[in-house]
Amino acid sequence: MSAEEVHNRISMLRAERGVSRKDLAAALGVHYQTIGYLERGEYSPSLFLALRIAEYFGVPVEVVFSLRPFPRLGSEVVK
Amino acid sequence: MGQINERQFAEVRRSVPFFWYGTRRGRRTAVVLGAAAVALGYVSAVVCWFLAPSDPAMWTTFTLGGIGLLVYAWAYAVLLVASGGAVAMGENRLDERQLAERRQVRSLAHRATAWLLGLTLALTFFLDGADHFLVRIPTAAAVIYVFALFLTHLILPHLITGWRLPDPLAEDEENEGPLAEPSGNGAPA
């Protein structure tokens, strides 16, 4: 694991809520390509932006961001 | 140097076809041509060093300068749009990711221009020592060299950004398409 790698579920939450990158970017006040960079893991947000993203989706920040990869959907069922 | 605002950015963006700023191939072509345009300035300075003052030096300078400046302006516009204005817009118009990118790119460009200035200094000392502490350089060569250095300083952050930018994601491309309405930057003012 890279020292500064932060995993996130932004794309999953966005798809689940039917929110486009552009809408999310507008709500957060960032450039829409920044959302793409976040989703691809090419940019790790500041604590402020991470908290705002979590607040936007109405979930705790650890639901959106993690230092370890998130388990794949259905992996618990397979076990 | 002055920083551009959203309106100016939108105007430049309208004048540049999507292929050039929206695809890696287009951006890298612009980077190569922009670097070549700057290189013409240095070539012109060398020509002036050996031939000025003379008609061949003058015509070479005008020809290379004219072609170089046209290509430079075009490449500058393409790369300005490609970076989303991250290098040229005011800090209050950028988000945290764009600011971080800008700091990194400017740091790299600063290092590169520091090397160029160091090389110039070393060349000056070398010539100074080799010619009994008296360097005779045609004024045209000195002026064009400094001008080329200035243009390098201006475009280098754009060249670095343009070379490194990844292609936008599919959904981004829809937003970035040539028919899409330019929407500014989205960052809080």
Highest mean predicted confidence (pLDDT) among A57-61, B2-6, B75-79, B138-142 = A57-61
pLDDT tens column, B128-148: 666 666 677 888 888 999 999
pLDDT (0 to 100) of residue B133? 63
Strand A7-8, strand A65-66: pairing: antiparallel
Which chain A residues have a beta carbon less than 8 Å from that of B96? 30, 34, 45-46, 48-49
Contact criterion met (CB < 8 Å) for A36 and B172 = yes
The CATH class given to the A7-78 domain equals mainly alpha
Mean of the per-residue pLDDT values for chain B?
82
CA distance linking residue B13 with residue A29, whole number of Å: 21
B183 vs B117, residue with greater confidence:
B117
Contact criterion met (CB < 8 Å) for A37 and B97 = yes
For chain A, report the end-to-end CA distance as a whole number of angstroms: 24
Q: Within an 8 Å CB–CB cutoff, is residue A31 touching chain B?
A: yes
Contact criterion met (CB < 8 Å) for A33 and B84 = yes
Q: Within an 8 Å CB–CB cutoff, is residue B121 touching chain A?
A: no
> Where do the domains of chain A lie?
7-78
Q: Is the pLDDT of residue A33 over 80?
A: yes
pLDDT (0 to 100) of residue B188? 37
pLDDT (0 to 100) of residue B187? 39
Residue B150 is classified by DSSP as H
For chain B, report the end-to-end CA distance as a whole number of angstroms: 20
A17 vs B170, residue with greater confidence:
A17
Q: How far is CA B7 from CA A11, B106, B187, in A?
A: 31, 24, 14
A15 vs A73, residue with greater confidence:
A15
CA distance linking residue A36 with residue B64, whole number of Å: 41
Residues in chain B: 189
For B173, the closest chain A residue by CA position comes to: A33
Q: Predicted confidence band at B53 (pLDDT cuts at 50, 70, 90)?
A: confident
Mean predicted confidence (pLDDT) in B17-29:
88
Which chain B residues have a beta carbon less than 8 Å from that of A14? none
Q: Is the pLDDT of residue B183 over 50?
A: no
Which of B83, B99, B172 has the most A C-beta neighbours within 10 Å, making it the best mutation to test the interface with A?
B172
> Where do the domains of chain B lie?
6-176
Q: Please report the ipTM that was assigned to this predicted complex.
A: 0.79
Nearest neighbour of B171 by CB, restricted to A21, A38, A45: A21
Residues 6+ apart with CB under 8 A from B93: B5, B6, B85, B185, B187, B189
Contact criterion met (CB < 8 Å) for A32 and B172 = yes
